[in-house]
Amino acid sequence: MTGFLKSREALLVAVILALLALIATRFPGFVDPANLARVFNDTAPLILLALGQTIVILTRCIDLSVAANLALTGMVVAMLNAAIPGVPVPAIIAVALCLGAVMGAINGLIVWKLSIPPIVVTLGTMTIYRGIIFVISGGEWVNSHEMSAAFTGFPRAEILGLPVLGWIAVLASAFFIVVINRTALGRAFYAVGGNPNAAVYTGLDVGRTQFLAFVISGTLAGLTGYLWVARYSVAYVDIAGGFELEVVAACVIGGIAIAGGAGTLVGAFLGAIFLGIIKNALPVIGVSPFWQLAISGSAIVIAVAFNARANRQKGRIILKRAEGHA
């Protein structure tokens, strides 16, 4: 318990509570349970993408194509629904999961087999995926009147006051937290990111582990693609443009080390919640939503500086202990 109170996660919880209290002094309705449920639901896509991005970053990689993956998957399933309205929602979700996984696998294979830096690979595939959206859609939108009621209704259906979209974020978070903390695969992600050379000597295939991380990230992005277009009832070329910045910001704010091998999914979850509250509070406190990207970018810089300082302090502690034993 003492360890948790001193952790980055505890600090984030305290900051989030303080932020809510500050907002409530001006607009008490913001902290109403029903409104907080809406804020969480708005943040659910960011949470889902942050989970996948965290796993990728843990392995010393980064996936800048998640928003483009989301957009392409969303466009494909929206066009499929418009062309064949009778396709059941489970089949639509299966298509989204598979398509997202394929795009993630493409990233992972290039990084693994060609040894190209992940930032270069995913920057390239991000552009390619956006281009494919324009090619298949001809630049046209898929609007709400072209989508079936079942297609748009699934993520909006409420269970115990929270829409299905929000519940999916909760369940996905719980599932991957267990996977990362309780399975050999989760330990492999940390080992590969912490020290790739040592991981090889323990029998781990670094490239294969990074490949699996990209597949997981892509799968979550594909799922989010369907949920996004269904919830907002629209699909277009520039959907979720720039959203990858918010995803990286959520991870870094949550304490995920860009260098890999350090951080928790709980931290990424809380980082996404923090950004979600900021984003929803901006219009309430009279700040233009166009400042969102600037705030996200500033949050990344501050969080990276904070993480770097914390790592230096840990290093000093280790050196002092070593000197004490010498």
Burial (CB < 10 A; 0-12, 13-18, 19+), residue 34, is exposed
Task: State which H helix or E strand residue 113 sits in.
Answer: helix 89-114
pLDDT 10s digits, 8-26: 788 899 989 998 998 888 8
For position 249, what pLDDT does the model report? 87
Of the pLDDT bands very low, low, confident and very high (cuts 50, 70, 90), residue 74 is: very high
Nearest to 48 by CA among 189, 216, 173: 173
Three-state SS for 235? strand
The predicted structure's pLDDT at residue 127: 95
Instruction: Give me the residues paired with residue 158 across strands.
Output: 163
**pLDDT tens column, 167-224:** 999 999 999 999 999 999 999 999 999 888 888 888 889 999 999 999 999 999 999 9
More confident call, 213 vs 311: 213
Q: In this predicted structure, what is the pLDDT of residue 38?
A: 94
What is the full DSSP assignment across 247-305? HHHHHHHTT--TTSS---HHHHHHHHHHHHHHHHHHHHTT--GGGHHHHHHHHHHHHHH
The pLDDT of 228-252, averaged and rounded, is: 91
Q: What would the two tokens of residue 218 be?
A: 């892509």
Q: Which residue has the tokens 């809510």?
A: 20
Task: Tell me the DSSP string of 141-197.
Answer: -B-GGGS-HHHHHGGG-EETTEEHHHHHHHHHHHHHHHHHHHSHHHHHHHHHHH-HH
Kindly report, residue by residue over 116-150, the tens digit of the pLDDT: 999 999 999 999 999 999 999 988 999 999 999 99
Give the number of residues written for the chain.
Answer: 326
Asked if residue 69 lies in contact with residue 56, where contact means CB atoms within 8 angstroms, the answer is: no
Query: Does residue 29 or residue 218 have the better pLDDT?
Result: 218
> Could you tell me the pLDDT band of residue 315, with boundaries at 50, 70 and 90?
very low
